[in-house]
Structure formats: C-alpha cells, structure tokens
C-alpha cells in the first residue's frame, strides 16, 4: 500500500483566492464585534452554508454574505491583518506562492478612495510577504455587474501598479450578467501593460462562457473553467493552448455547480491534458483552504500522489513566480514525491 504523504508538505502555488473570502472566521467575528456589525448565522462559524448559487436566490445570498464580511474591513490595519493571516494559512498548507485577487473599488469608500485603497492593499501584501517568506502578488479584478468603463479605469490603475506587485487582471461576479466582450477594451489595456488575463468563466454558465474568455478577452488563465468539459472541442483547445483552469472543488460543490465532490470534473480535465491550479476561492464561506482541495482530489477522485504532485507542478507553471521561486518549488515537489 502506498505511503500517504502529507498534502500540507506538498509545495504548491495558490492562484485563485479572493481577498475578503480569504479571511479566518475567527477574525471576522472579532472585526464584526469591533465595528458592531451583526453577522447572520451563516457567518458565525460551524458548518459552511449551502449556497446553491446556481439559482438567482442562491447567488444573491452568497453576494450578501460576502458584502457583510467585506463591510468589516474598514481600516488599513484590518487589511494588513487579513493579508498576513491569509499568507500564514497558505504557508501552513504548503504554498510557496500566492496570487490574491481583489477589486479595490469595494474597499475604496472606507480607505480614502481607489488609489489609496490599492496602495494599502499592496503595502499589506509586501509586508506579509516579508513576514512569512511567501511570495505574494495581486490580481486586480473588475466586477462584471458594473459598467465596462469602470473596468477600464481599473485596468489602467492596475497597469500603473505593475511594478508594485500587480501581475494580472481578472473579471469576477455573476457570469450570467455582462458579456465578456463588453470588457474587451479593459483587458486589452491590461495586456498591453504586461498583465496576465485571468477572467472567471465556466462556473455558473456553460462552455460558451469559457470560449468568450478565450476569444474576447484572450485569457491566459480561466477562473474555474470546469464547465468546459461539456464541449470536447473546447477541452482540446484549452489543452493545446496550455490555458490553465483555476479549479476550486469545494467552492463548486458549495455553490451547487455540482451536487457532490465526485461530480467535479477534475479527472476529465486532467486526463484531457488541461492544466489546472487548484484553489480555495473563498475559504471563509466554503470552509476549505488550499490543502483541502488536494485532499478532495485524492479522496473523491482517486488521484495518486504522483498525480497530485503533477497538479502542484501545474499550479507553479501557471503562476507568474520568478524563475528562482519556480525552480525551488518544483524541486520541492520532486523531493515530496521521492520521500515517500
């Protein structure tokens, strides 16, 4: 019988983690108490909520919980604490690199405006990286529920801070609203400024949403992308182009994209040669952090340790980590496998 290696010791990169959603539940409780924010039962600990966001009510509920949690981040020290703790959690789970996703617009009203908000976030990232040794960069994400002009403003801002830790540009929120092509100009601005294109697609809607991300936004990574399995030609295209899907198994089940862990198409994507980077998405709401996603692949999808090591390699290769960081992580993955 194969020795069961500790998945927290497997070096990996974390490429799909949302800012507020990375918070520790205990931190949320403390901040809510500090600011007198009433938290609904779904945010006070215990079992993570079943949000079933594939229907309108479920998505509304998910957004409402996320907004309440975000309202507890009001001061620079709250931002610093959030990023430091997210980094500590990822280090504990074996991450050597983190690309955290944030829409600074959401924090701007309480932090003195859009530019101050982004600077507070980037300062916090720099400080947490120094304190924990984890390489951390930022993906600035536009909200597809807002006007495409807002996305262009954000893209220009993201490019301006490319030398301060911004490495990518994303597009999040309900993909059933706002066509990808409406945001093509924002993504062109980001690409021309040297940023990676990593929009969400193929989560709440089917393969057409992934195709739109490729055709209209020229995505190099896709947030989620799991619904691509419904179109074999699209699957081949992702594999041939080496477009990485940032797959978040626990999130997919919590949001009702798939009924059970066994239904998340990890094996189909892997066998088709589509690169994957497993991510936690919003552990605050879904109750599962980075190493848990690898545990799901092992337990529910029968991934052997050699395959889990390959998933970790794929996460590192899809990152924008500098060459020396990549080399160290890849060597660490080989060591993890050899030590079995």
Active-site residue set: 203
CA–CA dist 277, 47 (Å, integer): 26
How many angstroms separate the first and last alpha carbons of the chain? 11
Measure the CA dihedral 95/101/107/108, to 10°.
Answer: 130
Q: How far is CA 67 from CA 56, 60, 99, in A?
A: 16, 10, 21
CA–CA dist 96, 89 (Å, integer): 11
Tokens of 205: 């809607």
Contacting residues for 203 by C-beta, under 8 A, at least 6 apart: 175, 209, 223, 224, 225, 226, 227, 252, 255, 257
Alpha-helix residue ranges (DSSP H) falling in 228-320: 232-241, 249-254, 266-271, 283-286, 290-301, 305-318
Tokens of 55: 């229907």
């Amino acid at each position: 019988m194969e020795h069961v290696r500790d998945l927290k010791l497997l070096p990996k990169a974390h490429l799909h983690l949302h800012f507020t959603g990375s918070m520790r539940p205990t931190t949320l409780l403390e901040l809510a108490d500090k600011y007198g924010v009433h938290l609904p039962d779904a945010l006070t600990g215990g079992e993570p909520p079943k949000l079933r966001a594939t229907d309108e009510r479920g998505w509304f509920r998910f957004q409402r919980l996320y907004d309440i949690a975000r309202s507890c981040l009001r001061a620079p020290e709250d931002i610093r604490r959030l990023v430091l703790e997210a980094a500590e959690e990822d280090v504990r789970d074996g991450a050597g690199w983190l690309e955290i996703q944030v829409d600074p617009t959401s924090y701007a009203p309480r932090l003195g405006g859009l530019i101050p908000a982004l600077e507070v976030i980037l300062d916090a990232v720099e400080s947490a990286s120094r304190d924990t040794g984890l390489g951390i960069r930022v993906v600035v994400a536009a909200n597809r529920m807002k006007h495409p002009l807002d996305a262009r403003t954000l893209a220009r801002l993201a490019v301006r801070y490319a030398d301060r830790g911004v490495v990518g540009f994303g597009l999040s929120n309900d993909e059933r609203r706002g066509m990808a092509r409406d945001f093509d100009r924002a993504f062109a601005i980001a690409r021309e400024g040297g940023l990676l294109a990593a929009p969400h697609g193929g989560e709440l809607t089917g393969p057409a949403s992934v195709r739109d991300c490729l055709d209209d936004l020229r995505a190099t990574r896709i947030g989620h992308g799991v619904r691509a399995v419904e179109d074999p030609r699209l699957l081949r295209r992702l594999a041939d182009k080496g477009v990485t899907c940032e797959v978040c198994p626990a999130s997919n089940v919590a949001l009702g994209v798939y009924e059970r862990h066994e239904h998340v198409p990890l094996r189909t994507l892997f066998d088709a040669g589509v690169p994957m980077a497993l991510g936690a998405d919003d552990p605050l709401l879904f109750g599962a952090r980075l190493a848990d996603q690898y545990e799901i692949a092992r337990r529910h999808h029968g991934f052997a340790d050699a395959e889990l090591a390959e998933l970790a390699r794929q996460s590192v290769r899809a990152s924008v980590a500098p060459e020396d960081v990549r080399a160290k992580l890849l060597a660490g993955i080989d060591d993890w496998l050899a030590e079995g």
